[in-house]
Structure 1
């Protein structure tokens, strides 16, 4: 994706269809998107029912039914859904759910506030009282100091990756994460985890505003240099892990996983595939695709079940599009795996499966592998 900054419309927002086109470009890049409130950097408002009951995203029927409630939890790759959302309100901004997109964004702030205590400037790194802190005023300074300790340039100066200037004078530095190395979100003042004072981390559990988005405060403008995110530098990855940002690995049970009867029935139906692949080869492919979903059964919470089911559904949609599997067989496999991992959440799983398969259907898988 090569983000472009559109010409600002007379009403102070994006030109007609600019947000829709930006959302579609992101989705085609594999970055799930969700609407932002017009002219703002915050998610679009929940529907009246969600506002009235004040429930969380977990189990909300709106997500399964394709409504843009609960912010980044509604993020999708489904182009039909995206066109419906932005077609109903072309003034929506575009947010990207960082974790599912495989992104981590270093959000450097330049707020005018009182300097934090020494032990909060660089969490876990002692700053002796003998060091003069005069001139240390923002996140641009603290991230530069952290980089200097590693004899590396500051991410703010990293023109080999996508950098976006924010209307408030801050900077978003976009990176891709390595497979299996997703990073959690945090704020620079967070007590649970933090990278540096006035430096937020946008990762799993957070979202980022797309470049080119226009708000009341101004435009999120791409800076000179690279226009796509590069792989997260090793030193910065190590610092994020040191400060507690690395997503804990999912430890699968060592006991044999019992295959539910519905899954066995689905495998039986799947043997009537349309291609030249043998049933056993297809079974092995399906088992690999569903492995991460099945493993969620061993972890009641924090296993990223929704994302893993969405990824499996995306791949199964590709198998269907390539003629290697019927729609019904794919849905049966996914439903059985979801029921095994999260019993009693069929409605939630159905929405994820439907969205993921629809997106995957746009990318047929003609090989024996999976994505």
Structure 2
């Protein structure tokens, strides 16, 4: 029988996103399987298989590479407002979080890589993630209040919109 969490992890790795296991029902890295957190994120399918064989219910986290910026909208109204101002954002890969937030994936222009940090806050209700510095829980990870799910499927980093 196929484990959908493992299949998702393998799929993200094939797309070019390092993967790490999360504690079942949580957003934090699995302390036994990934004791160094995001530093343990890998593309290696054998490592991924071992992790999900050991803990089949582990959530799936990805570490977007340095050239990938993820707009993390915790406030759905902030997402709606920015999307109204910039309708092209609706075409970018995005997933819904269990609390109704949104993760929107973009490729950073060459001159910007390295100049932003995950603590940079530009708008209320918006955090910047990814950039090789911050991982995200991803579909089909389940939390007590719901699951993550893709509204627009994820693309390899090189194919993301700017």
Q: Same fold (TM over 0.5)?
A: yes
Report what 2:121 is aligned to.
194
Q: Which structure 1 segments of 5+ residues have no match?
A: 1-14, 48-66, 112-137, 188-192, 233-371
Q: Which structure 2 segments of 5+ residues have no match?
A: none
Cα-to-partner distance string for 1:277-334 (whole Å, 9 max, x where unaligned): xxxxxxxxxxxxxxxxxxxxxxxxxxxxxxxxxxxxxxxxxxxxxxxxxxxxxxxxxx
Secondary structure of 2:65's partner?
Answer: helix
- Aligned partner (choices 137, 154, 162) of residue 228 of structure 1: 154
| Separation in structure 1 between the aligned mates of residue 24 and residue 2 of structure 2, nearest angstrom | 13
Deviation at 1:164, TM superposition (A): 1.1
Q: Does 1:207 align with 2:135?
A: yes
| Separation in structure 2 between the aligned mates of residue 195 and residue 154 of structure 1, nearest angstrom | 19
- CA gap of 1:179–1:207, structure 2 versus 1, over 3 A, is same
| Separation in structure 2 between the aligned mates of residue 180 and residue 81 of structure 1, nearest angstrom | 34
**Structure with greater helix percent:** 1
| Separation in structure 2 between the aligned mates of residue 95 and residue 76 of structure 1, nearest angstrom | 10
Report what 1:140 is aligned to.
79
| Separation in structure 2 between the aligned mates of residue 222 and residue 27 of structure 1, nearest angstrom | 16
Cα-to-partner distance string for 1:229-283 (whole Å, 9 max, x where unaligned): 4322xxxxxxxxxxxxxxxxxxxxxxxxxxxxxxxxxxxxxxxxxxxxxxxxxxx
Q: Does 1:153 align with 2:114?
A: no
| Separation in structure 2 between the aligned mates of residue 83 and residue 182 of structure 1, nearest angstrom | 32
| Separation in structure 1 between the aligned mates of residue 79 and residue 109 of structure 2, nearest angstrom | 25
Report what 2:100 is aligned to.
169
Report what 1:53 is aligned to.
none
Aligned partners of 2:138 and 2:149 also within 8 Å:
no
- CA gap of 1:28–1:178, structure 2 versus 1, over 3 A, is farther
Aligned partners of 1:99 and 1:182 also within 8 Å:
no
Report what 2:18 is aligned to.
32
Alignment RMSD: 2.6
- CA gap of 1:16–1:217, structure 2 versus 1, over 3 A, is farther
| Separation in structure 1 between the aligned mates of residue 111 and residue 8 of structure 2, nearest angstrom | 27
Which one is further off, 86-95 or 174-183?
A: 174-183
RCO greater where, 1 or 2, for CA within 8 Å and sep 6 or more? 2
| Separation in structure 1 between the aligned mates of residue 137 and residue 43 of structure 2, nearest angstrom | 16
Deviation at 1:16, TM superposition (A): 5.9
| Separation in structure 2 between the aligned mates of residue 68 and residue 32 of structure 1, nearest angstrom | 13
Aligned partners of 1:164 and 1:171 also within 8 Å:
yes
Larger Rg: 1
| Separation in structure 2 between the aligned mates of residue 180 and residue 99 of structure 1, nearest angstrom | 16
Deviation at 1:87, TM superposition (A): 1.0
Cα-to-partner distance string for 1:178-231 (whole Å, 9 max, x where unaligned): 4574354434xxxxx3221110111231011222222211111222xx423432
Aligned partners of 2:17 and 2:65 also within 8 Å:
no
